[in-house]
Chain A
Amino acid sequence: MTTERTNPSRRVGLFVTCLADLFRPSVAFAAIKLLERAGCKVEVPPKQVCCGQPAFSNGAFDDARAVARGVIEAFSSFDYVVAPSGSCMGTLRHGYPELFADDPAWRESARALAARAYELTSFLVDVLGVQEVDARLDAKATYHDSCAGLRELGVKQQPRRLLASVKGLRLEEMEGTADCCGFGGTFCVKYPEISSKLVTDKVGHITASGAEMVLGGDLGCLLNIAGRLRRLGKSTRVYHVAEVLAGMSDVPGVGDGESS
């Protein structure tokens, strides 16, 4: 990396995300490695749980606020809050100001946190000015743009720019790269048939691209895509972009076991 070592003004609180915590800790470890290599002092506040999006998206605003207050408190002392997810950071950036718009006690701290919340690759590129990473992966990959990162946070070129510096990696764009994969949080279990149609289309585009690997920045989408790929008997491997950028994609991919 081209950035200088630890800069005390870049005290980053890592928001692990509930999905990385539960399903794929390697994503969080990869994020820590990338941030530290870029010169950040990274801490993981132990009181964090979830951003509150499941409640927010289901209209349970009081529950969402209760969870959000915990996040605001846990991260109030950091210069930045960074997560390997556009979805969670979209909730911090846009959801929190809406949730606390009429609450004078929390409005300002919600807005202040929103202004410091970044998705990992956009933080690396847009804030830290990282141009390249030190990683190698001999593979042909395609990239799925997750909706919240793309449309709420403008994450599009940042992961691609960093991936372009990974030695041996070839990025092959699929058709409909920005089409929704049909995850949509609880949508995918409330409307499984519609979700299935969307993810089947997505998986069709992935396999048609000829890539042997699909990357993305949100575990929700990746669990959905990997789950459908395997259900259809496809062997395309699935990784979070952070794992590849940190050179940590030697673990089994999403949905792959130790035996596969």
Chain B
Amino acid sequence: MHGTTQEFKQNARIALKDVTLQTALGGLSSGLVARRAKAVGALPEFESLREEARRTKDHILENLDHYLERYEAAVVQAGGIVHWARDAEEGARIVVEICRNAGAKSVTRGKSMVGEEIGVCEALEKAGMRVVETDLGEYIIQLAHEPPSHIIVPAVHKTRAQVAELFAAAHEPRGIRGERKEVADLVNEARGVLRDEFFRAEVGITGANFLIAETGSNIIVTNEGNGDLTSTLARVHIVTAGIERVVPTLEDATLFLRLLARSATGQASETYTTLHTGPRRPTDLDGPHAYHVVLVDNGRSRVLGGEFRDMLRCIRCGACMNHCPVYGAVGGHAYGWVYPGPMGAVLTPLFVGLDTTRDLPNACTLNGHCAEVCPVKIPLPDLLRRLRKRQFDAKLAPPAVRWGIGLWAQLARRPALYRFVTGAAIRLLSVFGRRRGRFASLPLAGGWTSVRDLPAPQGETFFSAWRRQGGTR
């Protein structure tokens, strides 16, 4: 996917002024955040499940090669085919080839962030195939020609009125009329349109929430059932998944399913939890005739070997972005690539490089809310700080920051000099500011005073007063 990660500041500025977007984002905290809190509150063992999930994921990542080989063997045993993609381009090429070999003219797609990451949709369209997104949110943004702005609710940035307009523009020319007043009207309209597409498609592509090493199955969870129709009605089912999606057993998967549903949408379980194991067997009444899995590395094995390995525990629940004040302020598109919010601010620099993603790890207050809700205990603020370290060491941080911090650190290492310099500066500031108590503007403080007053110092510094009083109160 082509990104706009370098324009984060500009994207954010536009997003903050977008009244419709701000309305749409306003519902996020009251909706998903409140529902998660309720679901978590109703499960006393949630904290111990988080710890168990962290440990299980760490074990998997420690032995990832082993579980991937077991998984591949099990898929083959079940009659499926596993393809290994080193990068996005290879992943997309493999998908296009499978579709071409299947003689596909029309392809349906269930929601898959890896699919976005490797650009499946663009690649298929470029190869002359028609792609229809079947997740309602993805369908909406496909009509709007936009990328997803959230990994669970891709059209969270759209209001109901905007969706109604998009549906009218896309469906009226096809003779489909609808009320489009309530959410239910819109859902029913999309359902009617998509029903035909499911039957028309030769290939259905889904993602995978989990890959089960012991059985060779993949699991997808949805609330719309679109994934089931995508995967079972087409002749060929392709699963695109990152290599870190594998878990050893079905029992392990149930642990993550409990955490995923509650963290993502505040449900005890999603409406549909579907397992696919290989293609249709001779005795099966339905299902695809061919079953392919495209396992995507695209930087993951590199991350596996380094100080950011914790990030590979991510189960893509979206809780971090739902609780992120910055995401809540600017929305997902501002981040400029596939993965937004805190998890995206870590993953994007790791996947696409530090130099084109400079703002992402910095546009964070390190408030820690993301790590607090992460179901697999990823220390997101620590990882963001480590990315800042990488930027700083590579001299990618802005000169003002590098020199400013350097100068400050020189001063902070010399208490006597520090006291002398700050003592004089504070005395001066307080002379000018003490009466009014604040400054509306101040040279070199534009970043602060552009949006808020600067409270004035009380008077002399503490250490000056302390010394004057002889170290007494």
A residues sitting closer than 8 Å to B (CB atoms) are 16, 20-26, 28-29, 32-33, 36, 44, 46-50, 52, 54-61, 63-64, 66-67, 70, 98, 147-148, 150-152, 178-180, 182-199, 223-224, 226-228, 230-231, 251-252, 254-260
Contacts and interface: CB of A to CB of B under 8 A. Distances in A.
B409 interface: yes
Interface in B393-428: 393, 397, 401-402, 405-406, 408-409, 412-413, 415, 418, 422, 426
Given A61-B389, A231-B452, A260-B436, A47 B462 contact: no
Contacts, number: 215
Contact of A191 (B12, B389, B463): B12
Interface of B: 9, 12-13, 16, 325-326, 329-330, 362-369, 371-372, 382, 385-393, 397, 401-402, 405-406, 408-409, 412-413, 415, 418, 422, 426, 433-438, 440, 445, 447-448, 450-463, 465-466, 471, 473
A22 B422 contact: yes
A193 B12 contact: yes
A190 B385 contact: no
A194 B462 contact: no
Given A189-B447, A191-B9, A255-B455, A58 B16 contact: no
Nearest to B414: A49
The binding surface of chain A is classed by DSSP as helix
9 contacts: A25-B459, A46-B463, A61-B392, A66-B409, A70-B413, A151-B369, A184-B364, A185-B365, A187-B364
A228 B409 CA distance: 29
A54 B392 CA distance: 13
B129 to A, nearest CB: 40
B326 A57 contact: no
B458 A26 contact: yes
Contacts of B405: 54-55, 58, 60, 63
B448 A189 contact: yes
A28 B372 CA distance: 30
A47 B419 CA distance: 10
A46 B462 contact: no
Contacts of B440: 231
A49 B4 CA distance: 40
B16 A194 contact: yes
B388 A44 contact: no
A16 B437 contact: no
Nearest to B456: A257
B458 A182 contact: no
A112 B379 CA distance: 22
A224 B453 CA distance: 8
B276 to A, nearest CB: 39
Given A23-B458, A25-B460, A196 B451 contact: yes
A187 B329 CA distance: 14
Nearest to A230: B453
A156 B397 CA distance: 35
